[in-house]
Amino acid sequence: MAYRYGDRYQTQFFPPSIEEYVAKDDPVRVYDAFVNALDLKALGIKSDSSQPGCPAYNPSAMVKLMTYSYSYGWRASRKIERAEHHNISFIWLMGGLKPDHKTIARFRSDNKEALANILGQCARLCIKLNLIAGNTLFIDGSKIRANASIGATRTREKCEKELIAIDKRIQDILREAETIDNNEANDPSLVKIDEELKNQDVLKSKIENLLSEMKDQNKTKLNMTDHECCAFKSRQGKHAGYNAQIAVDDKHGFIVASDVVNENTDINQFSRQLDNANDVLDEPCKTACADAGYINYKELRGPVKKDITVIVPSTKQANDKEVKRFEKENFTYDETEDNYICPTGNKLIFRKERKDKNVRVYRTEKNGKICRACAFYKECTNSKHGREIHRYLDEKFREQIAEQYKQPYGRAVYAKRKERVELPFGHIKRNLGAGHFLLRGIKGAKAEMSLLASCFNVRRMITLMGVTALVEKLAG
């Protein structure tokens, strides 16, 4: 069988202009049109072509570079720099400009807040293109590692122990220096000792600042590399990172809003993330859905007051376990007499109110004698004081939220949650390789998350509309 052989010295004719390097239906043209449709001034990116000094790179070109490189999982500045020299689509996108890795890294670092606003404008473009309806929103979060090691996390006790050890090491270095000074016959150099002493002083200063910051923020531990990240557990172990949040529209699965918080649970995020999304939509959505990790009834009150149907199951509902015979759900509450009737017919009357736990306590009469005489005493309770039922002060509101989830509409909305809200995180983490943030600090993490979410939306637009039609729409 014959083979085909290449020839590196074969003379070829390239197109006369960079514009002809890229086909009309190449996806890179969408990213070019997308950034052209953004209002850079509204984002917060300064643009002044008349400023004195060495000419700077066009901010629009730099934003295009960031968006396009992130959409293919190229986030490291050195890797982006190589692409500018070797990748035809990058050469076309930048019009032949080739900023070095330091310029790329500096632009990304100096424009964190501006980059964090890109998703908002991207979502508004999707609304204009009738791709986002805003009727039903899904909220979800995912842990993403920070650019810091969990080993750099320090508690107050550990900081204090390290300060003692550093002080001891400094004293040892000074004694060693004094010994060498006294032994002038050998005439050694003190350069190494001076360097080690300086390193110990720098480390001591870092730990003292970290300890001071812990006291100011009333925290028990902080990470020395990234002070704003938090510690969380995953299947791979413990990590330092952030909690990335997104709100996804039901119509085509576009991300409406994104955020990054340094809390390792979602319990306080529902109302906040929903407000962020509604600000982009300019009006409240009709239905909001999240998993059981968001079940915080104080958080759910705000959306309910705005007439938003909230679909968030309790932990019991999410686990979908069978309710046992003597669980609270099988005790009947009599609102007129303010008591509970147990499955065997006995009354549990109101005994006391515990405001610290936000509950009212109900027990049987005669100090538990009725329960101890019951045939189901050991099955229902082992307490000698009898069975105790706690009724929350906001029990009616809790029952309302639980009932909304039980309804056919609530179950149908919740069934769509996974396919809508978990797909973006899968794309961001797997396809874009964003298992960790590159920028340190919460502002940097928010900027990267906004870029990644915008990249997901652009790829989704290309899938639904096609390159040529989308470019024409964005240009208009």
Type of residue found at 451: L
Shared-domain flag, residues 248 and 168: no
Consecutive H or E run containing 253: none
Shared-domain flag, residues 32 and 86: yes
Shared-domain flag, residues 206 and 341: no
Please give the structure tokens belonging to residue 21. Answer: 């390097």
Candidate ranges 207-211, 355-359, 426-430, 472-476; pick with highest mean pLDDT: 426-430
Express each pLDDT in 190-238 by its tens digit: 445 566 656 666 666 666 666 676 666 677 677 778 888 888 887 778 8
d(CA 381, CA 426): 45
- State the CATH number of the domain containing residue 435: 3.30.420.10
Tell whether 265 is covered by a domain: yes
pLDDT band, residue 175 (cuts 50/70/90): low
Shared-domain flag, residues 305 and 342: no
Express each pLDDT in 94-117 by its tens digit: 988 999 999 999 999 999 999 999
Shared-domain flag, residues 101 and 214: no
Strands of the 359-363 sheet, one edge to the other: 332-334, 339-341, 347-354, 359-363, 388-392
Residue 83 backbone class (left: φ over 0; alpha: ψ -120 to 50; beta: rest): alpha
Q: What is the mean pLDDT of residues 278-290?
A: 93
Q: Reduce the DSSP state of residue 44 to 3 states and report it.
A: coil
Q: What is the mean pLDDT of residues 166-174?
A: 61
Q: What is the mean pLDDT of residues 320-340?
A: 87
58 secondary structure, DSSP code: P
Tell whether 450 is covered by a domain: yes
Radius of gyration of the chain measured on its C-alpha atoms: 31
Shared-domain flag, residues 120 and 155: no
Shared-domain flag, residues 242 and 213: no
Tell whether 378 is covered by a domain: yes
Tell whether 196 is covered by a domain: yes
Shared-domain flag, residues 89 and 32: yes
Which residues have a Cβ under 8 Å from the Cβ of 37 and sit 6 or more positions away? 125, 474, 475
Express each pLDDT in 385-443 by its tens digit: 889 999 999 989 999 999 999 999 999 999 999 889 999 999 999 999 998 999 999 99
Q: Please report the pLDDT score of residue 121 as a whole number.
A: 93
**Residue 274: pLDDT over 70:** yes
Tell whether 141 is covered by a domain: yes
Q: Which of 355, 431, 457, 344 is nearest to 38 (CA)?
A: 457
Residue-range definition of the domain harbouring residue 174: 150-223
Number of other CB atoms surrounding residue 65 within 10 Å: 26
Candidate ranges 162-171, 218-227, 290-299; pick with highest mean pLDDT: 290-299
Tell whether 394 is covered by a domain: no
Shared-domain flag, residues 168 and 181: yes
Shared-domain flag, residues 290 and 416: yes
Shared-domain flag, residues 103 and 22: yes
Give the count of domains, the chain: 4
d(CA 416, CA 138): 9
Express each pLDDT in 54-89 by its tens digit: 778 889 999 999 999 999 999 999 999 999 999 999
Q: Are the beta carbons of 287 and 309 closer than 8 angstroms?
A: yes
**Residue 27: pLDDT over 80:** yes
Shared-domain flag, residues 270 and 344: no
Tell whether 157 is covered by a domain: yes
Please give the structure tokens belonging to residue 132. Answer: 């986002």
Q: Please report the pLDDT score of residue 11 as a whole number.
A: 77
Number of other CB atoms surrounding residue 35 within 10 Å: 24
Quick check: pTM over 0.75? yes
